[in-house]
Amino acid sequence: MTEPSTPAPAVPETGVADLGLFGKPLFEDPGARALRRVGVVDVGSNSVRMVVFDGAARSPAYFYNEKIMCALGSGMAETGHLSPEGRVRALSAMRRFKKLADGMGLSELTVVATAAVRDASDGRAFCDEVRTQTGLRIWVIDGEEEARLSAQGVLLGWPGAYGLVCDIGGSSMELAEISGGRVGRRVTSNLGPLKLRDLSGGAKAREAHIKEVMNNLADKMGKQRDRLFLVGGSWRAIARIDMIRRGYPLHVLHEYRMTRASVRETIDFIKKSDMEKVRLQAGVSSARAALVPYAIEVLGRLVKTFKPKDIAISSYGIREGMLYEQMPQRLRDRDPLIEACRFAEAKDARLPGFGRTLYNFILPIYKTAPPTRKRLIKAACLLHDVSWRAHPDYRAEVCFDNATRANLGGLKHSERIFMGLALMHRYSNKRENSRFSDLFEMVDEQTRAEAEILGKAMRFAAMLWIDKVAELSEMRWFPKKKELHLRLSEEMKPLYGEVAEARFNSLAASLGAQAVVKTARR
């Protein structure tokens, strides 16, 4: 695997490269359709995982995702070769994955191996055995290539991301800088939890070793005071524990944020807590939990050394980076959120394409909204009708649940809540007594009010459910006069019945405005 020769254009942090976001969807392009179902396997030091991506190529869903904890790198510090037990389990996993891939009709399965296989004396023999038993070729990549692929995985979720990516595996830890859609400097180290566990000398020896290695990494990478993106199972386990400590209500790891202070507090929390109890609360496997005490020592030194402005968890890593590697540049440049929402609309909405009409119709209310907010409004309009099959009594909450927990890239948690509330109000005027009330408190009162206005705007506009609604009717918003005007053509007038009128009045009331309806003759 080689680094792409075409440089990616700089994209704002929101991931908005506004290349005609309502133009022809790229997932309909033959080149993108080739990425509709892609299978990859990551043979790591701690786990072997197979992921099959499907859906909108720029923001794919996880069609299949299976992990087997093999601990291939366990004991390598002493023996120099792969764990015999882990090797047996890994071979079994590879046979299973090949059989599954054949059953799914995958044309090929891309397999990469990282630190354990590349460092083990019998790593090549293991690869040969896998090839003999399954026909699968394993690409053994070096540490810098591993860092690059992990960083590309972060870029899959955040096209405009900038900062430092830290990917921790069982036997190694990699760093890579990203900016302007490109991967910059990258380094690798032996700071994996499995290797630290096998280090002689106890806690003091580990502390000294981690400090020395981290200082060397800092010398090579230079100052990295921007965002720190954490990739890897051990980091995700720590994030889950941080959520438990904080009582954080939205259990979505991707884009979960921590601060340097919260990392320090979680380190103390882990040291003082009954780890078995915490493990069960956080839903962390016993094999992963056993490595957390070593990983937290690395994380503490990492944030102390590089002093990032904030810390974000990325669920996307090397496997997503392998998919990103196969994308043409025109696909990389697209906004993953918009592409995912467009795919959902095309697949599930009753009138695919109406999301664009809906957006154009309500846009006058948002003439002065910043691009970051218009992006969320576009996404909500695309999703406004994808949950219509849900039971009417539960449709509003289904919409909220889907928006806040769906596999959507390029979304902060607060943005998930905003979109969820807007889609909830697409089907319901009220949100009181909802089982999601604790999540509503994650955004301020103004954001909740703005989401309600967007939801009610979509709720009303959906009553004028024809392709030419924006041509045959028009909304105008006069914030100084506090008037919301609706102009209807004679052709549209029959659609403005009692329910539509009630919804328009409700929207005006949410804006604190007077509703004014006019009929325009053609």
pLDDT tens-place string over residues 210-244:
999 999 999 999 988 899 999 999 999 999 999 99
| Residue 481, token pair as written in the block | 């006069």
DSSP-assigned beta bridge partners for residue 42: 49, 112
The band of 520, judged by pLDDT with boundaries at 50, 70 and 90, is: confident
Q: Contact, 329 vs 9, CB < 8 A?
A: no
Q: What is the pLDDT of residues 238-290, one digit of tens each?
A: 999 999 999 999 999 999 999 999 999 999 999 999 989 999 999 999 989 99
Fold that domain 26-140 belongs to in CATH: Nucleotidyltransferase; domain 5 (3.30.420)
**144-319 is classed CATH 3.30.420.150:** yes
How many CA atoms, within 13 angstroms, populate the side-chain half-sphere of residue 520? Answer: 12
Query: pLDDT at position 332, please?
Result: 87
% of the chain with per-residue pLDDT over 70: 92
Mean pLDDT, the chain, as a whole number? 90
Query: What residue ranges of the chain are covered by domains with CATH 1.10.3210.10?
Result: 335-520
**pLDDT, tens digit (0-9, with 9 covering 90-100), for 452-487:** 999 999 999 999 877 776 677 899 999 999 999 999
Backbone angles phi, psi at 216, to 5 degrees: -65, -40
pLDDT at residue 19 in the model:
36
Strand partners, 43: 48, 113
Average pLDDT on 389-406 reads: 93
The residues that bridge with 192 in the sheet, in sequence order, are none
Q: Is 17 left (phi over 0), alpha (psi -120 to 50) or beta?
A: beta
What was the pLDDT predicted at 52? 94
The two three-digit tokens of residue 92, written as one number: 């079994």
Give the pLDDT confidence score for residue 34 in this predicted structure: 54
Q: Which residues touch 261 (CB under 8 Å, ≥6 apart)? A: none
Looking at per-residue pLDDT, the higher value among 314 and 159 belongs to 314
Considering the chain, tell me which residue range(s) the CATH 3.30.420.40 domain(s) occupy. 26-140
In this prediction the pTM is: 0.87
Q: Where in the chain is the domain with CATH 3.30.420.150?
A: 144-319
Counting every residue written for the chain, the total comes to 522
Confirm if 251 and 404 have CB atoms less than 8 A apart: no
Q: What is the pLDDT of residue 404?
A: 94
CATH of domain 335-520: 1.10.3210.10
- State residue 180 phi and psi, 5-degree precision: 60, 30
